Chain A
Amino acid sequence: MNIVAVTACPTGIAHTYMAAERLEKAARRLGHTIKVETQGAMGIENELSADDIARADVVILAAGIAVRNRDRFEGMRIVEVPVQDAIKDPERIVAGLGT
């Protein structure tokens, strides 16, 4: 499965990056490809391109706040989770996406 994800949190200092790290590792362990965009204190990094999004089967939004440029994902399957869940148990989130 092709996954794209966006992580963000209230201060954009720590959780954004911890969640990104956890999601990337869990997805790979479960045999998926994933690209995670972080929206943190340094702005948007590892930005998802139109191509990335077009190829993706599903979008994970792990954010405690509103995600920027959300309209990019219109018409796609979106799974929204609290950012702390993405840190706590990313594998459950990825497994829950189905196959």
Chain B
Amino acid sequence: MAKELSFRFPLPHGLHARPASLLRDAAGSFQSAITLINRRNDLKANAKSALALVATLTRQGDECTLLIAGGDEPAAMEGLRRFISVELPLCDEAPPAVPAAQGSSPLPRALRGEGVRVHRGRSASGGIGRAPALLAARWNGGPDLANREKGSPEAESAKLERAFVEVGAALRARRAATANITERAVLNAHLAILEDVELKAKIADQIHGDRAGAGQAVAAVVEHFAAVLRDSGSAVLAERVLDLRDVEELLIRALDPGTARDDRIVLERDAIVVAQTLSPAHFLALDKVRLKGLVLARGGATSHTVILARALGVPCVTGVAEAVRTLRDGQEIVVDGERGLVVADPSGAVSEFYDAENAALRTIRERVERTAARDAATSDGRRIEVAANVSSLAEVQEALVAGAEGVGLFRTELLFMDRAEAPSEDEQAEVFAAAARLAGARSVIIRTLDVGGDKPIPYLHLPEERNPFLGFRAIRTYAANPGIVAVQIRACLRASACGNVKIMFPMVSSLDDVRMLRGLVAAEMERLAAAGVPFDRDIGVGVMVEVPSLAFVMDQVAREVDFCSIGSNDLLQYLLAVDRDNQLVAHLYTPFEPAFLRALAAVCDGAHTCGRWVGLCGELGGDPLAIPLLVGLGLDEISVGCARVSAVKSAIAGCAMPECRQLLESAMRQETAADVEALLRAFAAKRADRSLLAEDLVRLQSRSRTKDEAIRELVGLLRTAGRVGDPDRVEDAIWQREETYSTAVGFGVAIPHCTSEGVLATSIAVASYPAGVEWQSLDGSPVTMAILIAVNANDPGETHLKTIAALSRKLMDDEFRASLLAAASAAEVVALLRSAVEVS
């Protein structure tokens, strides 16, 4: 007797690709036939086909029914009910951010000249490329399939089956051959389409029912699904059409290798490919050495082609239908992925502008790479590892590129979410080993499963609790699910043969816990050793310090672990007994509470006394205000989100151990959190003054000949130092100010300045011009020195403004100006400017 499960569809973005593939996974784990019926439009779908599910065009609020018929009806009913009520509501993701139309931002001054042909579009991938345009023809479904000779339905089916196997094997081979995670994800998406049960079933229907040839059947069914996606009204779904087309093309080529028209694009020389659209497979087939850029009439931020272009660093501009229509084959063009522009026939000033842009981008890239490659250390040479917190393999790669010196926290929960059963030992070992290989000699700290009743993982059968954070969670559940933790420990051990892997256990609250966990690790080691599986016997085993009890027994705990890492978020919430998600008490959640600082110090001292290293992997590590305190604590490692890695590294570089230790001592003696915060702010303000000026912001003996060049150069200095994010906007603001009246105040000095949102950090840049630059000065004399003051509009910083005011006054002093003009080095200029500010 079939069973029915009715529900209202909960997700705001409807049943798009992600929830559809998760529902498919949930349905796929049962033998019963499972059908989704949308009562609003009466569309039905096999729930084991993601494509068919998407084609029901289910929207939020639609009344839906799942029809379950087969041998395991009760289990399927129970499993799907759980999926619908617990997991489905959580499996939506925010729609990808679509970059705003850039029509509003002004063109760079160099592109405003007469006769410069600029097409505005959207920036889809950064960078600047310059090469002849190559107009690409469009894949149009390939050869004429209708009139193809065809065999019996059985023969056509057999041919098709071979094609499916061949394409599947080819996609898997390419997936295995690429190290690029984005490329792997796209190939996985193509494999998922190829393996969709409904796609295959519909093709078989065409062959047997409608007597279609294999190729014709493929084309008809792909067109059916493509039409549904195109007409879905969802931009995200419409972009999946290109992926369908790629699979279609692969199948048709495999069916008819000889006759399929080959319209792949071959680059014989450097080129920028210009096309209406470009499918991911066609993009991947392009020679990336010769490909200098991509100009697409269509293609949103979520199309796989655009995502790949970003991952492979190919400049790309989309939404330029007009450019695609009017450009000629072979015409020289610039694709400006920074601003979303396509410029035809660049010459003269435009050419010079883009040469300078390319040089600036190169310098910026080199600087970022240099910073990323450098190990973090304080100014007086104490090493502090800056690692990253990650949840997936993709994030490991991202973190290492961002300069992380390892993985300080690999959360494994994501591996367990959105699926019907726990990941296998092989699957986990593969992920951990891949992470270890990516990290090389750097360490990868894997935290074992940290879940409780608050996280819905149905197959773990965790009870709902009134207070899950004080209840049955993390290591406390391991005895109830011994298989799961054993599998995870074995996966970590196996990965330890491939790199520097460490195991870290969450929610440890006593020495008993430590001994129990070490016992588990020892048991799995024996099992692997008996099976002859290689692993590292000296693998580091550590604990997360998040239950406050550990702070009082660190002397005992540290002796029996290899390392510990402070989970500052939970440690703080447990220590202060504050749930920070509870609005009534959230204001009490502050890491600057002196009691918390003393707890941190106790943990660090305890661990160090036993010679163990200690890290920190909570949000506190990314708080710029807190970094000097963390340095003062003597932490060996700080692990933060990928995006914070480089900021934390440079914050550490600005610290010296003695002053940070002193700061910590003084902070621990304060009486309130507000006092601590005030102390930290004063400390930060003192250091901010120093950062207003830097030697790399000074260019003596500049060759700029005009005011235009001089301003571009000064802004360029700030840009390459990472202090200006939007140079076009900053230049505009400076020129706007110059138009009121010249900032050349006489005495050969100009003080161009602006307040702009394009400025990231309030800064001063200086250049001197031996030949003098005409600046419409108040006293008619040419300018021999310019001092650019760029103020961040969002956060000017009061200390900075005071410094600048003091400096402006000082510049009116004849002697001071004379010594500044006579300075022989950038260091001398910086020292003079600094002393001026300190004296006044």
* Interface residue ranges, A against B (CB under 8 Å): 10-11, 13-18, 20-22, 25, 38, 40-42, 64, 82, 84, 87-88
Contacts and interface: CB of A to CB of B under 8 A. Distances in A.
B812 A14 contact: no
Contact of B754 (A11, A17, A40): A11
A83 to B, nearest CB: 9
Nearest to B804: A13
B789 A18 contact: no
B582 interface: no
B336 to A, nearest CB: 30
B137 to A, nearest CB: 54
17 contacts: A10-B737, A11-B754, A11-B791, A13-B753, A13-B789, A13-B791, A14-B789, A14-B804, A14-B808, A15-B751, A17-B805, A20-B809, A21-B809, A40-B801, A41-B801, A42-B802, A88-B779
A40 B740 contact: no
A21 B808 contact: yes
Given A14-B789, A64-B741, 4 more contacts: A10-B740, A11-B753, A11-B754, A88-B745
B758 to A, nearest CB: 15
B778 interface: yes
B805 A42 contact: yes
Interface in B736-784: 737, 740-741, 743, 745-746, 751, 753-755, 778-779
Contact of A14 (B746, B751, B779, B798): B751
A88 B755 contact: no
B746 to A, nearest CB: 6
The list of the 9 closest CB pairs from A to B, nearest first, reads A21-B809, A17-B808, A17-B805, A21-B812, A14-B808, A88-B778, A18-B808, A14-B751, A13-B753
A13 B805 CA distance: 7
Contacts of B801: 13, 40-42
A89 to B, nearest CB: 9
A13 B755 contact: yes
Contacts of A22: 812
Interface string B793-816: 000101001101110110110000
A58 B198 CA distance: 90
A41 B796 contact: yes
B737 A17 contact: no
Nearest to B796: A41
A38 B805 contact: yes
Contacts of B789: 13-14
B359 to A, nearest CB: 29
Contacts of A21: 808-809, 812
Contacts of B812: 18, 21-22, 25, 87
A20 B806 CA distance: 11
Contacts of B811: 18
Q: Count chain B CB atoms within 10 A of each CB in A16, A41, A42 and give the residue with the most.
A: A41
Contacts of A88: 745-746, 778-779
Contacts of A13: 753, 755, 789, 791, 801, 804-805, 808
Q: Count chain B CB atoms within 10 A of each CB in A14, A21, A38, A82 and give the residue with the most.
A: A14
Interface of B: 737, 740-741, 743, 745-746, 751, 753-755, 778-779, 789, 791, 796, 798, 801-802, 804-806, 808-809, 811-812
Nearest to B736: A10
Contacts of B809: 17-18, 20-21
Q: Count chain A CB atoms within 10 A of each CB in B801, B808, B811 and give the residue with the most.
A: B808
A55 to B, nearest CB: 24
Given A18-B812, A25-B812, A84 B805 contact: no
Contacts of B808: 13-18, 21
Given A14-B808, A64-B740, A87 B745 contact: yes
Contacts of B751: 14-15, 18
Contacts of A87: 745-746, 778, 812
A10 B809 CA distance: 17
Contact of B737 (A11, A16, A18): A11
Given A84-B745, A88-B745, A14 B753 contact: yes
Contacts of A18: 745, 751, 808-809, 811-812
A82 B802 CA distance: 23
Contacts of B754: 11
A99 B812 CA distance: 26
A14 B788 CA distance: 10
Contacts of A40: 801, 805
A94 to B, nearest CB: 15
Nearest to A20: B809
A41 to B, nearest CB: 5
A78 B812 CA distance: 25
Contacts of A25: 812
B688 to A, nearest CB: 15
A84 B778 CA distance: 7
Nearest to B811: A18
Contacts of B746: 87-88
A15 B798 CA distance: 17
Contact of B741 (A16, A20, A42, A84): A84
Q: Count chain B CB atoms within 10 A of each CB in A15, A18, A84 and give the residue with the most.
A: A18
Nearest to A42: B801
A87 B791 CA distance: 22
A13 B804 CA distance: 7
Contacts of A82: 741
A44 B429 CA distance: 65
Contacts of A38: 805
A21 B796 CA distance: 23
Given A14-B789, A20-B809, A42 B798 contact: yes
Nearest to B840: A21
A15 B749 CA distance: 13
A40 B367 CA distance: 35
Contacts of B806: 17
Contacts of B798: 42
A43 to B, nearest CB: 10
A76 B838 CA distance: 38
A16 B805 CA distance: 8
Nearest to B790: A13
A13 B737 CA distance: 11
A13 B764 CA distance: 12
Nearest to B802: A42
Nearest to B806: A17
A88 B749 CA distance: 12
A81 to B, nearest CB: 13
A14 B808 CA distance: 6
A91 B808 CA distance: 19
Nearest to B746: A88
A46 B433 CA distance: 66
Contact of A41 (B737, B745, B755, B778): B755
A5 B751 CA distance: 23
Contacts of A17: 805-806, 808-809
A25 to B, nearest CB: 7
B804 to A, nearest CB: 6
A84 B775 CA distance: 14
A14 B803 CA distance: 11
A10 B802 CA distance: 17
A84 to B, nearest CB: 5
A10 B741 CA distance: 10
Nearest to B751: A14
A60 B743 CA distance: 21
Contacts of B743: 14-15
Contacts of A10: 737, 740
Contacts of B804: 13-14
Nearest to B779: A88
A18 to B, nearest CB: 5
B330 to A, nearest CB: 48
A7 to B, nearest CB: 11
A11 B755 CA distance: 7
Contacts of A84: 741, 745, 778
Contacts of B779: 88
A91 to B, nearest CB: 13
